[in-house]
Amino acid sequence: MSPNEEPSAPRSLDGELVEVFDTQSESEALVVKGLLESAGIEAAVISLDAPPDVLPGVGGIVVRVAADRADEARQVIADSREIGPDTPDSDLNDGSAA
């Protein structure tokens, strides 16, 4: 395990892991991880940040899944992006009265 990987990856992810999402925001990565896990896909959030004294601002956060679930995970992520802010549920926050 490299020093930048989290040691707490789920046990079912012992095989090859494939990156399916990357971001600079840890909270966004955790939301995607939760989305995937709610779809039954085990996921790991891994920090790629380089030491700030060596390479400041380099790195990010990635979400990885087992290689055999990568296509499914990417589809779940894509489907969630299609829902977006134009869904009827978003009317709850637009300030208009019903």
Residue extents of the structural domains in the chain = 11-83
- Residue identified by tokens 């709850």 is 92
Measured CA to CA, the distance from residue 6 to residue 83 in angstroms comes to 31
The confidence score (pLDDT) of residue 60 equals 87
pTM over the 0.85 mark? no
The domain over range 11-83 is classified in CATH as 3.40.630.30: no
- Residue identified by tokens 């300030």 is 95
Mean pLDDT of 41-53: 83
Residue 66: is it exposed, middle or buried by C-beta count within 10 angstroms (0-12/13-18/19+)? Answer: buried
Helices (H), the chain: 26-38, 70-83
- CA-based nearest residue to 76, from 91, 57, 63: 63
Confidence of residue 83 (pLDDT cuts 50, 70, 90): confident
Q: What percent of the chain lies above the pLDDT cut of 70?
A: 61
Mean pLDDT, the chain, integer? 77
